[in-house]
Amino acid sequence: MRAETIDSLTAYARMNPDVMLLTADLGYSVLERFAEALPAQYANVGVCEQAMVGIAAGLALSGRRVVLYSIANFPTLRCLEQLRNDVCYHNLPVTVIAVGGGLAYGAQGYTHHGVEDLGIISMLPNMAVACPADPHEAMALLPQLLERRRPGYLRLGRSGEPELHRANVEITLGCAVWMRRGTDIALLATGPILGRALRAADELAKRGISASVASFPTFSPLDTALVREAASSHRAILTVEEHSVEGGFGSRVAEALLMGGHAPRFGKFGVTDALRGRIGSQSWLLDALGSVEHHAQALL
Amino acid sequence: MSGVDTRELARRLRRHAVRMTHRAHASHVGSCLSIADILAVLYGAVLQVDSAWPDRPDRDRLVVSKGHAAAIVYAALAETGFLPVEELDSYSADGSRLAGHVTRTVPGVELSTGSLGHGLPVAAGMALAAVRAGAGWRAICILSDGELDEGSNWEAVQFSQQFRLSNLVAIVDYNKIQSFGSVAEVSDLHPLADKFRAFNWGVHEVDGHDHAALKAALTSPAPLTGRPTAIVAHTIKGKGVSFMEGELAWHYKSPDEAQLKAALAELEVGA
């Protein structure tokens, strides 16, 4: 979904010359298409994420909309205070794109596992946090983040994520969408791990369990209306995320349920301490967390 | 602001700073007095800014990265028409817009600061915006010396030479004192001017209380063509109040009644 998103950004920036793309020297073989098409709107600032965020704030204070590009923790945790003070406190139109979110760079080691970003970034003021599941969601959300003209975060996977939606599904920032409807349990997923939730629903159907699946392309603000609708129509809810289950999507959904007066059987599937220090492919690491269908069945 | 007596302006800024920190029981009066002359020369004779139109697009941008010197920055803005002088009495008070660290809700403030090492990267981004837009305005950043311990500054220093930001000026308030003691004892910056030169910056080294020297450094052509400029301003922390000069304690203390009276007496016209 990296390449598709940058193509989408290039098209948008061509129409909107106030949009600039900065990278901290990452994006080889991905960003060239933007840099070659729109050199005056592009800058590789070097390997310096803290300065990159400050530079973005300076550009934004001077009338630009700025998109930042880097990997997982580098444009987020490395420069968290610059995001907090320079961008979010000033409510500036700066959108951070982090690629390799979750365990996409799983074999590169824990330094490259982006599994705390969503929870931490969503605490920052004025910030919208998007976590698309497939290229369709990513390409739909990027222009919406830019049109918002406020701080934004777009967490992407890497490449080769399959399309999970029928192409004509409308994706709106702040809104979750039902992928399939069942009656027993609702699987609520954010990000490319949605594919596992959909496969789990197929597997559960074989076992006589009717599962709904919803995609949450926006992590924050959370679509609490859909969460409560899920609670009203299912006995159980399982959240599915490629992120720490401490303070992540499941925690936010649980809070929304409690605040809404709902108490369904509830579980969280996501990254736990069991994975810390383990390396391997994304699919191998996710397999190590157990199966989504097993977690779902255990709730019923 | 041509025709402004910058020495008189600096005196007025110092009087405001000691009054404000006294009234608010606030810290950092020494850090304020250190940059009184720099601010007076900037606002009185250098910056192209317009108090009637603070967001004017072609204005020069001043980023005060040492946000703890807020009192004297607000004083400079009040003395040059950006906010009422009487409002300075609300410095650090409950519900005031004049926070203890420089805050952008105040007209004329470009960036809220307070955590060190944030201002120069932002000023560099502003300078890049001007370069890319073909605009003539400058981005000027005032940094403390202790603040240069923050690595983010050196990221921006490196970036700014690569992008040939000749419209960027970093003024270092080199008063040689940081939070725990002298800069030499805590984290020595010597030779500071050479550090900037090694990063391909042009450098002026001046007495930061000499108005003619400051004005010359801020208005003369860049010392290195096509590169950013650093002004290493040798200053005295607490400058202008004899018992505060060079004293670390005045990074923290606020003047009591007697000290305020003594300080104001030293800051009388002709004193």
pLDDT along chain B (271 residues), means of 10: 87 98 97 98 98 97 98 98 98 97 97 98 98 97 98 98 98 97 97 98 98 96 93 98 97 97 94 65
Contact (CB<8Å) B159/A57: no
CB contact under 8 A, B128 and A43: yes
Instruction: Give the span between the Cα atoms of A268 and A251, in whole angstroms.
Output: 8
d(CA B8, CA B270): 10
Do A4 and A137 touch, CB atoms closer than 8 A? no
Is the model's pTM score more than 0.95?
Answer: yes
> A67 to chain B, minimum CA–CA distance in Å?
13
pLDDT of residue A169: 94
Please return the burial class of B118, using the count of CB atoms within 10 Å of its CB with bins 0-12, 13-18 and 19+.
Answer: buried
Strand segments (E) across chain B: 61-64, 139-144, 168-174, 177-178, 181-182, 202-207, 229-234
Residues of B in Cβ contact (< 8 Å) with A50: 117, 121, 151-152, 155
β-strands B181-182, B177-178 pairing: antiparallel
Identify the pLDDT of residue A276: 81
Interchain pair A62, B118: CB under 8 A: no
| Alpha-carbon gap, residue B13 to B16, rounded angstroms | 5
Helix pair angle (B151-162, A49-61), 10° resolution: 70
- How many residue contacts between A and B have a Cβ separation below 8 Å? 95
**Three-class SS state of A296:** helix
The confidence score (pLDDT) of residue A168 equals: 83
B1 in any annotated domain: no
Residue B216 lies in a domain: yes
User: What pLDDT sits at residue A264?
Assistant: 97
Question: Is the previous residue joined to A162 through a cis bond, with omega within 30 degrees of 0?
Answer: no
Radius of gyration of chain B (CA): 17
For residue B205, what is the domain's CATH number? 3.40.50.970
Kindly list the structural domains of chain A, giving each domain's residue range(s) and its CATH number in brackets, ordered by start.
Answer: 2-155 (3.40.50.970), 177-299 (3.40.50.920)
**Does residue B271 lie within any of the structural domains?**
no
Chain A residue with minimal CA distance to B137? A62
Least Cα distance to A57 among B171, B228, B156 occurs for B156
Q: Which amino acid is at A104?
A: A
Taking CA A103 as the corner, what is the angle to CA A101 and CA A109, rounded to the nearest 5 degrees? 115
Contacts A61 to B, Cβ<8 Å: 61, 110-111, 122, 125-126
The complex scores an ipTM of: 0.96
B139 within domain boundaries: yes
In a domain, B179, yes or no: yes
pLDDT of B2 reads: 57
| C-alpha to C-alpha distance for B23 and B93, rounded to whole angstroms | 9
Which of A58, A81, A90 is closest, CB to CB, to B124?
A58
The rounded distance, in Å, linking the Cα atoms of B154 and B212 is 29
Instruction: Assess if residue B226 is contained within a domain.
Output: yes
Question: Is the CB of A58 less than 8 angstroms away from the CB of B152?
Answer: no
CA–CA distance, B202 with B174 (Å, rounded to integer): 17
Structure tokens of A17?
A: 């010359």
Total number of domains in chain B: 1
Give, for all 300 residues of chain A, the pLDDT tens digit: 999 999 999 999 999 999 999 999 999 999 999 999 999 999 999 999 999 999 999 999 999 999 999 999 999 999 999 999 999 999 999 999 999 999 999 999 999 999 999 999 999 999 999 999 999 999 999 999 999 999 999 999 988 899 999 878 999 999 999 999 999 999 999 999 999 999 999 999 999 999 999 999 999 999 999 999 999 999 999 999 999 999 999 999 999 999 999 999 999 999 999 898 899 999 999 999 999 999 999 999
The CA distance from A56 to the nearest CA of chain B, in Å, is 6
The domain in which residue B193 lies consists of 6-266
Which H/E stretch holds residue A182? none
- Chain B residue numbers with beta carbons less than 8 Å from the beta carbon of A62 are 61, 125-126, 129-130, 133
Give how far A129 is from chain B: nearest CA, Å. Answer: 23
